[in-house]
Each structure stands twice: as C-alpha cells, then as structure tokens.
Structure 1
Amino acid sequence: MYQHGVRTKENPTSLSAPIVSKNGPQIVFGTAPINLIVDPSSAVNKLVIANTMEEAKGQLGYSDDFDNYTLCQSMKATFEVFKVAPIIFCNVLDPAIHKKANEEKSVQVSNNQATYDVKGVLLSTVVVKKDSTALTVNIDYILEFDDNGYVVITLVAGGAGESATTLKVTSDSIDPSKVTTTDIIGGYDSETGVETGLELVRQVYPKFNLPPGLIIAPGWSKNKTVAAAMVAKCTEINGVFNTECIIDFDTTTVKKYTQLETAKETLGVVSSHAILTWPMLKIDDVKYSFSALLAALIYYTDANNSDVPNLSPSNKLLGVSATVLNDGTEVMLDQVQANEINALGIVTALNFGGWKSWGNNTACYPDIKDPKDRWICCRRFFSWWGNNFIIDFANKVDELTNFRLIESIVDAENIKGNSYTAQNMCAGAKIQYLTTDNPIENILDGKVVFRQYLAPYTPAEDILNILEFDPSMIESALGGE
C-alpha cells in the first residue's frame, strides 16, 4: 500500500527478560495442559527446558487452573513473579491414558464461527457435524484454541458446513484427575528401557549438561510416598551429583501450625537435602504451593548473587499477598508462631515489613545440628561446590597421576576459594593433597584423594540487643557531678 503522511503503530508491552541463573536449574514434576500444543504425545515424561514463559507455553501449554495443571504455577512463579530462568519441566499427564470422552454438544454458529466451551479438548479427537453429516477438518472447518483454552471452530467458505447455524461436536479431553502419585514417582521399565516421572532426574545432566538443581513437585509433594521418592533422588544422581528438594505439607489436613510436629512425624522426611514448607501462598486471588514460589525465590537470590548459593532464602520478599490453606482460609502467623514452626525444621512465611519467607533449617533439624546439614544455605553451598568440582575436573580423569595433575587441581580450587573468600561469600575454602590419604597402593590402583575444607557463613538467625537503663546519663544531662 502506498503511504503518505504520519502514522503510528502499537506493539504489545514487552515483558522484561528473565535473569539467567547458571546454577543447575529447578526440575519440576507435575501436569500441564498439553492438549494446547501441536503434538501432545511428544510432551509426556520428557524433560523440557524453558528460558521464557513463551517457550514453556509452546512446549507444554499454560492454564491458570493450578490445581489441575500443577506445572503452570512454577511457570508463573519463575517467569512472571521472580523473572528468573531457566527451568526444567516434566509433564506426566499422558493423553493416551489420562483422558475422558465428552458427550455430544450443540454449539451456535455466528459469523461462521462457533466456540466449543469444553476444557482440555484433544484437537485430533474432535468430530464436527452439521445435522447428521460429519464435516472434514481443514476442508470444511478449521480448529484453534482461544485464550481461555476453548476450541474455536471456523467454517470454511464453500465448505459443507458453510450455511450451518448450529453444529454438533464430540471429542475427548485430557483428564488430569486421573493422574496419580504413581505417575509422578514413575520408574524404569526394564523391558522397554523407558524412564518416567522422578526417574527422569537421572537424565538432566546427560541431556542438558547441567547439574540437577532443586527438585519440586507442587501439588504432589505433600503425598508421603512422593516426598520419599523426591528425597531419594537428591543424592548420588548419576552416581556423583547432589541437590535438594522442596516439599509441601498438605493444607487440607494440616490446618494449624500446632499440627505440624505430628504432621512431620507422619510425613517421615528428616533429610538434610529436603526443605519443608507450610502453608500455601496467595498472590491476589491465586493460590500457589509454597514450593513453587520458594524455588523461584531461591534461584532469583542466587542469580543476583553471582550464582553463588551462599545466601539464605529466609527473610526475603516472596511477592505474595497472604498465606492460606487449600480452601482459601487465611493463615495469620506472628513471629512467635513462625519461630515455633522453624524450630521443627520447617520454612513458613511471615508478614514482617512485607510477606517474606521465614526459616533457615532443612528437614533434618532439630535431630541434626551439624551446620553443614542443618542450614539451608550451607547445605546448598556444599552440594553446589561438590557438583562444580565434579564438572570442573572431569577432564582430568585418566590423566597421568603426576605432580602436574595434583598441582593443577589444588591450585585451581585454592584460587577459586580465595576469590570467594575475598568476596565475603564464605569464610574460607581450601583443598589439600596429603600423602597420608594417598598410600602408594592406592596410587598404583589409580585412586587419588584430595581433602577440601569449606566454611560458608551461617545465617545470623538470632540477633540480640541487650538494653539497659543508665541513670548516670540522666544525672549528666541534669548537670549533676
């Protein structure tokens, strides 16, 4: 078109790019509305990585129905609340299994379009009829989803349905209610060699060359069996890596903070690699599992700290408007109550100058008080350092066991340790090669041992200021001798 004059054009508002964390990304297990993507079957029990909300939507679909599509709350928390990336998702909802048949429904046609307002529809199963005559997709009509996840049927000019005022539609829909904890836990099929569910944690490093980060399963980790499976997957991943998981308490049964001690005993999670949370969180009118927002907060904190996980996630703003139970009932804790929850090794949230995460202890506390294991920031620092050591020196494996090999590892680690110490990210970090750890028999057997000492700072959890009345100050003020 020939243009002459002054014109304007508006673009949609661009969202700010997420901060990219170089730590091993969070790995989220759950369900997604995969009927919204081109090939739903391609997104079943597969690890997918996303750096933006658009990437996540394109690979898994998106819905605000967080109860049924649990992965979506981590999408929202990570990409929109905290704006951090990347994140790895695993959807276990299988459209070949977790589905239901929808009864035939009549829809009204207006301007050659009709909206089929049924959720979760699998486009490949849609049958559209004009009266009793079945129409042909992409010849007589075109299907697409609207912003609400409903199917829009557009009649093609000249097609067999062109003059229709009503249409009859049948279809199948995915049914997230049929997904069970067994699907989340997954396993290994020895006959097919297929891994499913949490078993796929093993594939994170081989597939993405990233060490596994926090393992979460919002909406599912509250189940005792799922929680146990998550804890089991935190250590010796690929035989060498370690990480942590975040587990939620079930707020349909644990409705008061005074029930948490018994609830923790019932859950049976006392691992230093587990972080327990209660209750749920709310942003505006939307409920989130605590784990979804805490995981995003932790990665946001790391990304703004040169990707070093030495900072505690406690006393950091969560960006929420309330703490709630599953039924929406608000939970209003004061600091005394929140501290009692922390004393059980459980993280909660406290409205103290804004809603903040509150709690430094892993699930092993109070049974274990070793600072390496009890403090979340120390535990994550040790896992992070160990994972990076493995990655950094994997290329040294099978080199000759000589002085150059030993010196290269010792020098590199001590330089790194000195750097982090100088930046006040830890009190110290040093590595040694000791002859007492390396008798000649071991060297001849191809084994080399180093001894490393790490001292991440512990959190200043209890700051006490002792106040005392000083009468002499009044005496001086009044001119006394």
Structure 2
Amino acid sequence: MAYFHGVKASEIATSIITPVSTTAGLPVVFGTAPVHLTSDPKAYVNKPVICYSWDEAVAALGYSGDWDKYTLSEVMYSQFKLYGISPVVFVNVLDPTKHKKSQKDSTGRAVNDHQIIVDDDVLLSTLVVKKSSASEAAVLGTDYTAAYNDDGKLVITLLETGALYSEATLVLEYDAVDATAVTSADIIGGASADGSSKGLELIDYIYTMFSLVPGIILAPGFSEDPTVAAVMKAKALTVMELFRCTVLADIDTAKCKSYQDVNEWKKKNGYTGTNQIVCWPCVRNGDMIFHFSTHLLGVIGALDADNDDVPYQSPSNRDMQITGLCLKDGTEVLLSLPQANLLNSQGVMTAINFTGGWKSWGNYTGAYPSSTDVKDTFICVRRFFDWDDQTFILTYWQKVDGPLSPRFVKSIVESERVRLNSLVARGYMLGAEVKFLESENSTTDLLQGIFRIHKFRTPPVPAQEIETISEYNVEYLNKLFE
C-alpha cells in the first residue's frame, strides 16, 4: 500500500440494490401503415419505431382513415386521440417495394381546373406525368406539383409557367401501395436469408433498440387469424428467452356474429393462452369502428398510469371511449349482463353499458375455464407476475458473473425482500417473502454457478362477485310496543 499521511474517505457499493423501472404495458403493435404519405416510404418497413405523440407517429408512418387497409392508423388514433397514452412501438410490415401495383394509363385522365385528383395510394417517387403515352415525361416542379391533401388524396397541380397548363387530359404512370397484398405471413415474418428479421420475429429486438421490455403485443385486423394469434402467443411467452408479456387477440366477428358462437370458435382455434386476453366483438365510437383489442390497449394503459405503472388491477369495469358494440361490418351488437357474464365465464373480454357508461367487462385470460390456476387465469395476477419477473431480471442482471458467496446471495435476497415489502406497503400485494432454500440449490448446481431464490407473491385478485345477504329480523317488531 502506498504511504499516506492525513485524513481520507472511501466508498463501498450500497448493500441494497435499487430496482430498475420498467414500462409494464409497453404496447408493440404489428400491422400496416400508409407509408406512401411519408417523406421516406421505406424508412420504417419491418423496423420498429417508438412514438410518444400523434405528430411523431404521423411523421414516421403516415395516417389514413381507411383502417381496413392501414391497421396501425386505428391504434394510432385510439392511443393518442382517445386515451392519451404513450409511448407506442409500431411495426409496419407493408413493404412498398413488394406490396404494390403498377398503373399505366392507356387513355388520358381529365384535367379539372388545372388539377388531377388521384384516388390510388401513389408512391410519389414513381409518378410520371405525360401529355400522351408517347410523349416525354413532364418535369416535377417545372410543369407540375404533386402532393397529398388532408384527405389522403394525391393532387397533381399544373403550373401556369409549365408546358402542361393548358392540357385537357394527361397520361399517368406510377406504382401504388397495395395494402391488400399484405398477408398473415407478413405479420408472422421470420428470419430472412440476409440475417434480418421481419414481422413478429422483431419482438426480440425491442429491448435492445429502446431499453424497454414489451408489455403487450397486438395486431388488430390480423389477430383474428388463428395462425397469427398462435405465433403471437408463442412469441409473448419467450421474449428474448427471458420475459413474458400479454397478447390481445380478437375473435373474428365475421365468423362469430352472436355471443353464442364465440366459445366454440375460441376453443377450436386455440385462443386459450395463459398470457392471452381474448376479445369480442368490435366496438364503435360514433361512426368509427374499432377492433376491441385496440380499445382494451387504451384501457390497460390508462389503468397502469393510474397505478404508477404497477399492473396489479384488473382492466375490467373500466371506462371505455366507445358508444356501442358491433360486428366488423357495423351491425349493432346488443349484450345483456347475463350474456356478457357468459362470455366472461368462457374466458372472453367484452363490454357492457350498465352503470356509468360503457365499461370493459371480464377478468379472465383465454386459459379460463380449462385452467383454474389463479396465476394463469386472472388477467391482473398474470400481468403482475410477468411485470415482477421482468423487474427482477433487469434489476439483478448487473450481478451476473459476480462471485457466488454468502455475501453475494444475501445482497440479492435482502434487496429483493426490501423491494417486495415496499410493494406490499403500497397495497400492490397482500404479502410477499423471499427465501434461499437449500432444497432448491443442489451441490451440482452450485458447482456450475447456478443458484435460485424462491419468491412467494400474493397480488390481490379482483372482487368480481360482491353479495349482500338480507334477513327479515322479527325482533324489530317489538318497536311497535314501545
């Protein structure tokens, strides 16, 4: 040791490890976006983008009111306009180099007031304007301008100083985005030959890109496909081979037009995951029709925000920004309370207009009633377990490869005990305990650097049945003689 003469100070690491904050319900939404409305249509193709505001989302992905074609726009509107929840991670699978159609006019298009309005979703970089099919292409910025208006229509305006200003007809050639060419296979995705990933395979890259763990996966408009729903369910169980998260899946209202059809379809098509919230039917807000999963995402986000991002409460009986239930084709759906309760008993989330406006209704995951394990059947318990495990992994990752000693084990056990006790004190759990058990840590495991701690966790279950018992008390008849 070097010679020292005087007074000095030093520090050691804090014995209690500070927990890592996480976003419990971070939504990762897969679908299609009107990328032709953006400045760079190829920028976010199978590339996740995190958006904290409406303007960010529109700039990155574009927005269209045609939600049947552009499913991400539906979620964008609901999250930012109706529920005010952020952030949202969007994954657009529509590839303008693949999902497109070519248009070449054989005859001219009429010019009205020196303008042509095009209904197709034109990729501006491919647009060619000519006087006739045999003519040279006109010059953008010299002969004409081309831009999308607020209604998403392409407006070609002829410039007074250009060569086309007096033309009555013009010939157009272009490529247009074809959202109908996007299939379930594009949502499912996978690994490409060049090593890149597409579709749902990208779920494993969300944390490395944004330092946030996926909390909820949804794909409105595509999760009605049992194949897509199955892959979503599988991916959500092993995010990065570390985490679990929740899947929101819709039941196809074209095939299940009545609540009586739902249970058989649900079981037949495997919508029975422990981490899966199954939704039926669609919902409306005025003239706008949404998939139920889209609004449930907003409900969960608002609920988590009210609870400091701790997902310990059920999303049932919460306000929904809707004006009714319907099928995808707009047909009104009327549900009585007994009918809604029947759906709940089959592991399906729905909505009711009973008292205080429209409310979400249902506490069970898709695993119910075939599974009765409380940690797998109650949505709030399942989400709490997933969130708590996520927090544990991220908090103690810094300890990986440290020296396995009594002090090392104690630091983790005591830190975790403090963390869980704080959750109990705040009412997020009824009780919790952490133990390092010799029976769970064999000599052979310890020799390989493997050790386990055992946690006992009891988040509250929802009070889904409250009963008052009344009795006529004949003793009070004596009041007549007082």
AA aligned opposite 1:71:
L
Q: Is the 8 A contact 1:115 1:153 kept in 2?
A: yes
Q: CA deviation at 1:50?
A: 0.5
Q: Is the 8 A contact 2:129 2:170 kept in 1?
A: yes
Partner of 1:323: 325
Shift of the 163–236 alpha-carbon distance from structure 1 to 2, 3 Å rule, reads same
Q: Is the 8 A contact 2:281 2:326 kept in 1?
A: yes
Question: What CA distance in whole angstroms lies between the structure 1 residues aligned with 2:136 and 2:40?
Answer: 28
Structure 1 segment 198-277 matched on structure 2, within 5 A: 198-277=200-279
Partner of 1:290: 292
Shift of the 294–257 alpha-carbon distance from structure 1 to 2, 3 Å rule, reads same
Deviations 1:16-47 (A, max 9, x none): xxxx9933511111111111111112221111
Confirm or deny that 1:466 pairs with 2:475: no
Q: CA deviation at 1:141?
A: 2.3
Question: What CA distance in whole angstroms lies between the structure 2 residues aligned with 1:404 and 1:84?
Answer: 43
Question: What CA distance in whole angstroms lies between the structure 2 residues aligned with 1:171 and 1:79?
Answer: 33
Confirm or deny that 1:387 pairs with 2:385: no
Question: What CA distance in whole angstroms lies between the structure 1 residues aligned with 2:420 and 2:46?
Answer: 39
Q: Is the 8 A contact 2:22 2:212 kept in 1?
A: no
Partner of 1:3: none
Partner of 2:88: 87
The correspondence for 1:146, drawn from 140, 149, 152, is 149
Q: Is the 8 A contact 1:413 1:430 kept in 2?
A: no
Partner SS for 1:84: coil
Q: CA deviation at 1:338?
A: 0.5
Q: Is the 8 A contact 1:35 1:174 kept in 2?
A: yes
Confirm or deny that 1:50 pairs with 2:51: yes
The correspondence for 1:279, drawn from 268, 275, 281, is 281
Q: CA deviation at 1:134?
A: 2.3
Partner of 2:13: none
Partner of 1:121: 122
Shift of the 393–24 alpha-carbon distance from structure 1 to 2, 3 Å rule, reads farther
Partner SS for 1:395: helix
Confirm or deny that 1:96 pairs with 2:97: yes
Partner SS for 2:175: strand
AA aligned opposite 1:220:
F
Partner of 1:404: 407
Partner SS for 1:40: coil
Q: CA deviation at 1:107?
A: 4.1
Q: Is the 8 A contact 1:109 1:167 kept in 2?
A: no
Deviations 1:401-454 (A, max 9, x none): 123322221222111111111111111222222233223332221111111111
Partner SS for 1:144: strand
Moved more, 94-103 or 332-341: 94-103
Partner of 2:421: 418
Partner SS for 2:42: helix
The correspondence for 2:363, drawn from 355, 360, 363, is 360
Question: What CA distance in whole angstroms lies between the structure 2 residues aligned with 1:22 and 1:172?
Answer: 40
Question: What CA distance in whole angstroms lies between the structure 1 residues aligned with 2:478 and 2:139?
Answer: 98
Partner of 1:451: 454
Partner SS for 1:43: coil
Question: What CA distance in whole angstroms lies between the structure 1 residues aligned with 2:22 and 2:397?
Answer: 22
Tell me the TM-score normalised to structure 2 length: 0.91
Q: CA deviation at 1:298?
A: 0.5
Question: What CA distance in whole angstroms lies between the structure 2 residues aligned with 1:404 and 1:299?
Answer: 39
Q: Is the 8 A contact 1:221 1:247 kept in 2?
A: yes
Partner SS for 2:320: coil
Deviations 1:228-286 (A, max 9, x none): 11111111211111111011000011001111121112211221011101000000001
Tell me the TM-score normalised to structure 1 length: 0.91
Partner SS for 1:173: strand
Shift of the 436–28 alpha-carbon distance from structure 1 to 2, 3 Å rule, reads same
Moved more, 463-472 or 41-50: 463-472
Question: What CA distance in whole angstroms lies between the structure 2 residues aligned with 1:474 and 1:188?
Answer: 80
Question: What CA distance in whole angstroms lies between the structure 1 residues aligned with 2:52 and 2:458?
Answer: 33
Unaligned runs of at least 5 residues, structure 1: 1-19
Structure 1 segment 100-179 matched on structure 2, within 5 A: 100-104=101-105, 106-110=109-113, 114-131=115-132, 132-156=135-159, 158-164=161-167, 166-179=169-182
Question: What CA distance in whole angstroms lies between the structure 2 residues aligned with 1:408 and 1:161?
Answer: 78
Partner SS for 1:233: helix
Structure with greater contact order relative to length (CA < 8 Å, sep ≥ 6)? 2
Q: CA deviation at 1:300?
A: 1.4
Question: What CA distance in whole angstroms lies between the structure 2 residues aligned with 1:82 and 1:76?
Answer: 9
Query: Alignment length, in residue pairs?
Result: 457
AA aligned opposite 1:82:
Y
Confirm or deny that 1:308 pairs with 2:310: yes
Partner SS for 1:119: coil
Shift of the 413–107 alpha-carbon distance from structure 1 to 2, 3 Å rule, reads farther
Q: Is the 8 A contact 1:270 1:363 kept in 2?
A: yes
Question: What CA distance in whole angstroms lies between the structure 2 residues aligned with 1:424 and 1:335?
Answer: 30
Q: CA deviation at 1:465?
A: 0.8
Q: CA deviation at 1:165?
A: 5.1
Q: CA deviation at 1:117?
A: 2.8
AA aligned opposite 2:331:
T
Deviations 1:149-184 (A, max 9, x none): 111223345333344455433322111111111111
Partner SS for 1:260: helix
Partner of 2:6: none
Partner of 1:62: 63
Q: CA deviation at 1:342?
A: 0.5
